[in-house]
Structure 1
Amino acid sequence: MSALRTIHDVPVLLCPEEGDPIRGEADATGLIGEAGYQGARWVALPAGRLDEEFFRLRTGVAGGIAQKFAQYRMGLAVLGDIARHTAASEALRDFVRECNRGRQLWFVDGLPELEERLRG
């Protein structure tokens, strides 16, 4: 079950490791709705909850999900090690690097790194 936690004055919906996979925009919209209902401004989602297609940029899944979160002005932090995915795709490495420069979608190792990013 997801839990709302305030980190440096930012309400964050912490999603559990277990749960339905996020496969596309419809699943993202459901997650955004849950987060908004609870008053969150960010969603912290374990990388394992994302469908494998998310990490294949040519499918458009990552872009669609990122667009949904941007449209609803909700931040998304993907928590966990995605090294096996980035090792296999230069395009994904570039996407992750660009996202981490912004303020909408971050890829972080875990909650401590998210806490640090939300501090500043």
Structure 2
Amino acid sequence: MNIVRHKGLTICELPLHGGLLGGDLTGPDLIGEAYEADPDIIVVPISRLAPGFLDLSTRIAGEVFQKMEQYGRRLVIQGDIAKEVAASKALHDFVYETNRRGHHLFVPDHESLIARLG
């Protein structure tokens, strides 16, 4: 786990390998994994997403984002999901709206996250 501090925010970046978010790792589990760092933002690489996470009909993503919000944490999904977004209007709209609101984010890489945070 990598901890980064940026403009007063504590960002916890999960490693590329480990439990899958939306599979064996739930929103509360994710918060527990990062608990010691007391992060404002938890960054999950796409390699840590359970199959079906980006298929909105499974409702996995919505449930995870909702739990993160309930616990007062921001979730960032980091990695290239352009192919999945291009293949699904629902996912395209979800990613667009999520990024427009800006509380939770989908970003292609760390540099994009830092740029979004200002």
TM-score scaled by length of structure 2:
0.91
State the distance in 1 between where 2:86 and 2:32 align. Answer: 33
1:75-86 equivalence runs, <5 A: 75-86=74-85
What residue is the counterpart of 2:27 in the other structure? 28
Percent of pairs identical after alignment?
Answer: 35
1:1-120 equivalence runs, <5 A: 2-24=1-23, 27-119=26-118
- Kindly state the Cα deviation for residue 25 of structure 1 after the two structures are TM-superposed: 8.9
SS of the residue corresponding to residue 21 of structure 1 reads coil
- Kindly state the Cα deviation for residue 24 of structure 1 after the two structures are TM-superposed: 4.8
State the distance in 2 between where 1:69 and 1:51 align. Answer: 17
RMSD: 1.5
State the distance in 1 between where 2:81 and 2:24 align. Answer: 20
State the distance in 1 between where 2:82 and 2:48 align. Answer: 15
Aligned residue type for 1:27: T
- Kindly state the Cα deviation for residue 62 of structure 1 after the two structures are TM-superposed: 0.7
- Kindly state the Cα deviation for residue 105 of structure 1 after the two structures are TM-superposed: 1.4
Runs of 4+ in 1 over 3 A off after TM superposition: none
Are 1:20 and 1:49, in contact at CA under 8 Å, matched by a contact in 2?
yes
Aligned length: 118
Q: Which runs of 5+ in 1 are unaligned?
A: none
TM-score scaled by length of structure 1:
0.90
**Gap change, CA 1:117 and 1:69, over 3 Å in 2:** same
The one-character-per-residue Cα deviations of 1:29-68 (angstroms, maximum 9, x if unpaired) are 1111233331210001101211121111011101100101
Aligned residue type for 1:23: G
